[in-house]
Structures are given as C-alpha cells and as structure tokens.
Amino acid sequence: MSGSHKGWKDRNWYVSITGFWREYRKHKIGLVGLALIIIFLGMAVFADGIITHSPSPTAKVAPAYLMPSWLSVFDPNGVITGEVLPDADLDETPIIQANGTSSEFSGLHVPRGESVSDSYVNLTWTHTAGTQLDFGIDPDGIRADYSDFVYFEQDFTWLYNSPPSDVNMSIFYSTSLTGDFVPGAQEGNSLMLRVYVWLIDSSGEWTRVYESRDAAYVEELQMRRISMNPVSIESVFDGMAMTNGTQEDPTDVVRLVVGLAPYRWFDSSFYSSGNYTYPWQYYNGSVTVKVTKLQMVAYGEYFGVMGTTNWGADAYSQLIYGSRISLTIGVLATGLSTLVGVIVGMVAGYFGGKVDEVLMRVVDFLLVIPGLPLMMVLAAFLGARIENIIIVIAILGWTGTSRLIRSQVLAEKNKAYVESARAIGASDTYIMFRHILPNVTPILFANITLGVVGAILSEAGLSFLGLTNPEDPSWGRMLADAVAGGAFSGGAWWVVLFPGLMITLLSLAFTFVGHTLDQVLNPRLRER
C-alpha cells in the first residue's frame, strides 16, 4: 500500500503540480488574486441560492433608489422595506368562530380549537335555514355587518419608530360553495358573503383594508392585491411612533384579521310593507374560503443589502448574478480566442513563408482597426445574446495570442527535438501539437488570465453602451441603468460604486494571477 502511494507521488504530473504550487505560494499578490477568483467563482456557481430576489434588471421589488438597509444604523427613524408578516404561509393558524354575542364583537377572541397545517386555512361559514343572524350596524362602516362569521388572525410587531411610506398586501384564496349558496340555486344573487381583511393596532382601533366586492367566487386560486391608502397607514402605524419619548399605542403589536362574513343583501321578492327582510333564514349550505398565502410588504427608505436600482430592482441580486455573466463571458470568450490564436500562431510560425505572411497581415489588419467600434458594429449586427457577445469578443481577442505563439514556435521549430521527430517520419500536425505546443504552453497561461480581464472589460463596455440583452443582469448594465436613471444627480451612489468595484476587483484578481503565473512559469523572470 505504501509503495503504491509513493509511486503515485513520484508521477510527473504530481511532481509538476506540487513544484508549481511551492513556487506560486511564495507570491502573496498571486494568493490574493486566487482567493478573489475563488470568491467570485463561488458567487457565480451558487448565485441561485444566494440571491434574495429576481436578478432581472426590470423586476421591481420596491421603489427606485432605496438605500442599503445597513445605512439605517445612522437613521433612528429609518424604515427598512420588507415583509412584515412572520408566517406568510399560514402554518398551523388557529381558526376562530364568532357567534354573534353582540355587535361589539365581544366574541372575537374565542378559539375554535382546531388548526390547519399544509400552509393553508379553510374558513367555512355554514348556515341552517331558520337561524337568525346577529345583525349590528357599525357607524364607521369598518367592521362586518354581522357578528356571525369565521376568521383567523396573525400578530406582527412593528419594529420601527416611524410609519411606513406605503404598504402593499396580497391575499391568495379560492372559494367553494354548497347547498343554496351554489350559483343558480336561488333566483337572484345568492352569493351573500364577503372576504374581509382588517388591521387592529394595540389600542384596539380597527382599520378595514380589504373587502371582496365581486360575486365571482370560484374554486380556482386567485390573488387579490391590497394597496393601503395613506389614511389607513396613518390609522394603523402612527400610534407606534415615538413622540417626545412616548407613543399613543401601548405596544408595537399589530393584529391582522382575515374573516368570512355575511353582508347586508336583500332581494326585492322579500320586500314587504316598506321593511327590508333579509333572506338568510331561507338558506341552507356553506361557503368555504381557502386562504393559501398572505403577504404584507411595508416600504420605507431602505431595502436589502445593496438597495434598489432606478427600476426598483434588487441591486444585490443583480450584483451577485452579474458575477456569473462576467465569468461566463470572460472565460468562454478567452477560451475561444485562445484556441483560434494558438492554431493561427502555430501554423504561421511552423510553416512560415507565404502562409505566415498572409496570416500575419490579417492579424495586423485586425490590430489596426479600433476594437470597441468594431465590437459595437458586430454586437448590433449579430444581436444582443450572450453567445453572440462571446463570439464578438473572441473575434477581436485572438490576435495577440497568435503573435505570441508564433514567436515562440519560431524559436522552437529548429531545435533538436523537432528535427528528431521529423527524422523518424512524424507528421507536421503531430510535431506541432505533441512536441512544440507543450513547450510553449507555460507562457500561454499568463496570457490567458490577462485575456479574461480584457473580455470582462469588453462585456462591461458593451453592456454600458446598451448592446447586450437588457434582461441580463451584468455589472455593465447596472452602470448603464444608473447613468440613464439619474443616479448621479439623485445621489444613489450604491448603484455606481458596487458594480464598478466588482469589475475592478475581478479584473485585478485575474491580473494578479496572470502576473504571478508569468513569474513562476517564465524562466527568465524566475532567475531575477
């Protein structure tokens, strides 16, 4: 066993790798560059698990140009935008039955004794013909018309010393009907229940934020968006703001109540002697509302790790996902351009003569043409897809590699090992790729790492000019959106600083590694 292990360590590839690493780790700048590349690579690979929102530049999650949440430490009254409900998926939420003891809802906090898991709540209102409902008029029109209803509730704590600037809610529910409540079972409108959402502050003040107005009760899941108006926001949250060291509401707890309740409905056939007779006594059956999800987002001046962009998108998610775009384009474009450059350089250097002359004139022609304008033309012609951007960058990135390889091949092709290979009948292709290429590869590694830097900067430039797909979350696109959205005049420095810093750090990382590789693999530099 020990002998086989020793033989494995004596193999050429293992000796070469360990020897290379011993030399490489002597250069601190190379270790820094390698560490940065590993970090960026981890961001790119695990981006889907790291991001918190959609990375699309146009996926709005909050108002535009909200500051990063960590800046709120300098603002005692700052509100961080985010979800405030602790259990948005309604796990094990208790259902409560109010039996109409009075119009003041004294029975609102009586537990029904059952809970529902699997992330939904069924609110079932059942009625038997002849049962009288407890009707009471709320002069403010906030509560339900009857105290006979079912509901569930959730408490959440408001953590800030100021009210939010806006509050948006969403409720996901479906409805099923039985008995006389099924559409068509009775003449006229037989759907006589509504879904309500209330907020109750700790002082006991009720605020109605949602009441289903339509009679389209369907079994398919539907979503209803609720945008609280400024008056409702003030009613719920202003009492929790500290004023001169005190606050109006006793605590910072807000209760959210979702209920299924009957409402005042009448049919003209039940009208007699000038009195409205409500027809509940004639109905048998049930209405079940299945609530699957509740969301409540409060907006303030701060959001997320890195704030929002001019589109209101999450800057952090774009920044993380941008590492995948930059590395993908940088590595693939450099790999493709290196492949072309190696083939052209080896053919030109090995065969020489007219072949060398023609290929080098093509290289000189491409080197003379300004790179960025040509890339702009090609990108506009081919289309704003990642594959096309890789091709565009590769088309102009192989010329330097071909000249470097050609110069090395010219120095290698007349050496004794090449002459020996020719003498035993080896083909030109075999000699180029099996004998000469391994000897020119070490100097190629340093050139590849520096080529990745050029490709990353080229992609950022094309994105900044708007020549890439606007849905691709790249760092250049973030800078372009920042300029177009007035980030400089608006003081939104975070949408400029962070993507620029990412481009700089990733470019420096490959530059550090390339410089170290050049020192380790280049014998002349190693001797100094």
Write out pLDDT tens, residues 172-182. Answer: 888 888 887 77
Q: How confident is the model at residue 313 (pLDDT cuts 50, 70, 90)?
A: very high
pLDDT digits (tens, 9 = 90+) for 124-139: 888 887 777 777 667 6
Cα separation of 31 and 500, whole Å? 22
As a three-state string, the secondary structure of 108-126 is CCCEEEEEECCCCEEEEEE
The total of other beta-carbon atoms located within 10 Å of residue 271's CB is 11
* End-to-end Cα spacing for the chain: 42
In this structure, what is the dihedral angle of CA atoms 366, 367, 373, 378, given to the nearest 10 degrees?
A: 30
pLDDT for position 44: 92
Above 80 in pLDDT, residue 110?
A: no
pLDDT for position 8: 61
Q: What is the mean pLDDT of residues 90-103?
A: 46
pLDDT for position 164: 93
Above 80 in pLDDT, residue 55?
A: yes
Q: Which residue has the higher pLDDT, 181 or 306?
A: 306
pLDDT for position 270: 44
Element at 179 (helix H, strand E): strand 166-179
Q: What is the mean pLDDT of residues 30-54?
A: 92
Coil, strand or helix at 285: strand
Whole-number average pLDDT of the chain: 80
pLDDT for position 19: 79
In sequence order, which residues have a C-beta less than 8 Å from that of residue 233 and are 6 or more positions away? 163, 164, 166, 167
Cα separation of 78 and 377, whole Å? 47
The total of other beta-carbon atoms located within 10 Å of residue 198's CB is 21
Element at 161 (helix H, strand E): none
Of 185, 184, 172, 195, nearest to 125 by C-alpha is 195
Q: How confident is the model at residue 13 (pLDDT cuts 50, 70, 90)?
A: low
In this structure, what is the dihedral angle of CA atoms 65, 70, 76, 82, given to the nearest 10 degrees?
A: 60
Q: What is the mean pLDDT of residues 423-450?
A: 82
Above 70 in pLDDT, residue 525?
A: no
473 touches 311 (CB < 8 A): no
401 touches 333 (CB < 8 A): no
Give me 43's structure tokens.
């961001």
Give me 202's structure tokens.
């700790």
Long-range contacts, 476-481 (Cβ 8 Å, 24+): 476/503, 477/57, 477/318, 477/322, 478/57, 478/309, 478/315, 478/318, 478/319, 478/322, 481/57, 481/309, 481/310, 481/311
Q: What is the mean pLDDT of residues 263-277?
A: 49
Cα separation of 496 and 480, whole Å? 9
Above 80 in pLDDT, residue 200?
A: yes
Give me 218's structure tokens.
């369907």
Q: What is the mean pLDDT of residues 223-242?
A: 88
CA angle 262, 268, 269 (to 5 degrees): 100
Domain boundaries of the chain, sorted by first residue: 71-303, 310-527
The total of other beta-carbon atoms located within 10 Å of residue 17's CB is 11
In this structure, what is the dihedral angle of CA atoms 381, 383, 388, 390, given to the nearest 10 degrees?
A: 90
CA angle 341, 453, 308 (to 5 degrees): 140
Give me 319's structure tokens.
């920044």
Cα separation of 384 and 378, whole Å? 10
Lowest mean pLDDT among 1-10, 189-198, 500-509: 1-10
As a three-state string, the secondary structure of 357-388 is HHHHHHHHHHHHCCHHHHHHHHHHHHCCCHHH
pLDDT for position 109: 29
Cα separation of 230 and 228, whole Å? 7
Whether domain 310-527 has CATH 1.10.630.10: the reply is no
391 touches 455 (CB < 8 A): no
197 touches 209 (CB < 8 A): yes
Above 70 in pLDDT, residue 70?
A: yes
12 touches 277 (CB < 8 A): no
CA dihedral (276, 280, 283, 289) positive or negative: positive
Q: Which residue has the higher pLDDT, 308 or 243?
A: 308
Above 90 in pLDDT, residue 320?
A: yes
pLDDT for position 278: 53
Start-end of H helices in 287-385: 315-351, 353-368, 371-382
- What are the φ and ψ backbone dihedral angles of 439, each rounded to 5 degrees? -85, -20
Give me 164's structure tokens.
């939010």
Q: How confident is the model at residue 497 (pLDDT cuts 50, 70, 90)?
A: very high
Above 70 in pLDDT, residue 32?
A: yes
Q: What is the mean pLDDT of residues 334-355?
A: 89
Token match 């009907």: residue?
Answer: 177
pLDDT for position 115: 35
Q: What is the mean pLDDT of residues 442-447?
A: 77
Lowest mean pLDDT among 70-84, 259-273, 494-508: 259-273
Above 90 in pLDDT, residue 301?
A: yes
Above 50 in pLDDT, residue 23?
A: yes
Q: Which residue has the higher pLDDT, 451 or 279?
A: 451
Buried-exposed string 25-34: b where 16+ CB fall within 10 A, e elsewhere: eebeebeebb
Coil, strand or helix at 173: strand
CA dihedral (35, 40, 42, 45) positive or negative: negative
DSSP 8-state class, residue 194: E
Task: Give me the amino acid identity at 520.
Answer: V
